[in-house]
Amino acid sequence: MGLQKEKIEIKSECKDKVRCTVEEFINDATKNIVPYVENAAKSGVRGEALNRVVNAAIKLIEDNAKKMVVNDEDVKKYGTVAMRHVYEEFKDSPAVVEDLRKGVFNKWKTIEVTQVINAALKPELEPYVKKLADVLIDAYRRGGLKEAAKAAEAYFRKVRYGKRRLVDYLFTEAPDSLQHESRAMQKFSRTALATCPGADVCAAQCYALHGNYVQLQVKRSLAIRDLFVSNLRIELLKRLNFDYARAAALLGAAFAGGVKAAGFGRMVRLHDSGDFNDIIYLAGWLTAAKLLPDKTFYTYTKTFPNVPGMPPVWQKAVEYYRELFNEPPPGNFTVNISATATNYKYLPGAAEALTGLGISVPGVFFYASANMDKYYEGRPERWRELAAALLEAAGKTTGRKLILEFEHGLGTGRSAKSSHHIVKLINVLTDYAEKSGTPLRISVPNTAYKAPSFKNEEEKKHMLTRLLTLPPERRDEALYDVEKMNVLNEIASELARKYGGETAQEGVWTKSFAAEGEKKVKVTLKRPVSVFTVPGIGEPVEVFVEPGGEKTCSLCQRCVVAPHSPLKNVTKITRDAFKGAGLTMMKELTAMAEAPQPAKTKKRQRRRKKAVAA
The least CB distance from residue 80 to ligand SF4, in Å, is 8
Q: Enumerate residues 6+ apart whose C-beta is below 8 A from 220.
A: 117, 121
Cβ 208 to ligand SF4 shortest distance, Å: 5
**Residue 351 CB neighbours (<10 A):** 24
Check the CA dihedral 239-240-241-242 and report its sign.
negative
CB of 315 to ligand SF4, least distance (A): 20
Sign of the CA dihedral 104, 110, 113, 116?
negative
Q: How far apart are CA 298 and CA 362, in angstroms?
A: 9
Instruction: Supply the minimum distance, in Å, between the C-beta of residue 111 and ligand SF4.
Output: 12
Least distance (Å) from ligand SF4 to the CB of residue 285? Answer: 16
Query: Measured from the CB atom, is 12 or 418 closer to ligand SF4?
Result: 418
DSSP 458-504: HHHHHHHHHHHHS-GGGGGGGGB-HHHHHHHHHHHHHHHHHH---EE
- Residue 564's Cβ-side half-sphere holds a number of Cα atoms within 13 Å equal to 23
Looking at beta carbons only, is 202 or 448 nearer to ligand SF4? 202
Q: Least separation, in Å, of the C-beta of 396 and ligand SF4?
A: 21
Looking at residue 330, its amino acid is P
Least distance in angstroms from the C-beta of 274 to ligand SF4: 5
> Nearer Cβ to ligand SF4, position 299 or 552?
299
Output b/e per residue, 478-499; b: 16+ Cβ within 10 A: bbebeebbebbebbbbbbbbbb
Give helix 94-158 / helix 279-291 axis angle, nearest 10°. Answer: 50
142: enclosing H helix or E strand: helix 94-158
Contact between residue 214 and residue 295 where contact means Cβ atoms under 8 Å apart: no
Which 3 state secondary structure label does DSSP give 523? strand
Between the CA of residue 420 and those of 370, 379, 483, what are the distances in Å?
9, 18, 11
* Closer residue to ligand SF4 in complex, CB, 310/534: 310
Nearer to ligand SF4, 12 or 106 (CB): 106
Compute the least distance from the CB of residue 321 to ligand SF4, in Å. 23
Q: Please, which residue, 96 or 523, has the CB nearer to ligand SF4?
A: 96
C-beta closer to ligand SF4: residue 199 or 351: 199
Provide φ and ψ at 93, rounded to 5°. Answer: -110, 105
How long is the chain?
614
Min dist CB 89 to ligand SF4, Å, is 17
Give the residue with the Cβ less far from ligand SF4, 202 or 425: 202
For the bound state, the minimum distance from the C-beta of residue 83 to ligand SF4, rounded and expressed in Å, comes to 10
CB 213 within 8 A of CB 274: no
- Of 188 and 321, which has the nearer Cβ to ligand SF4? 188
Closest separation between CB of residue 340 and ligand SF4, Å? Answer: 8
Q: Which is nearer to ligand SF4, 231 or 273 (CB)?
A: 273
Q: List contacts with ligand SF4 (CB under 6 A).
A: 192-193, 196, 198-199, 202-203, 206, 208, 273-275, 302
Q: Which of 292, 276, 336, 113 is nearest to 186 (CA)?
A: 292
Dihedral angle of Cα 230, 232, 233, 239, to the nearest 10 degrees: 150
- DSSP letter (8 states) at residue 211: G
Q: Which CB, 116 or 202, lies closer to ligand SF4? A: 202
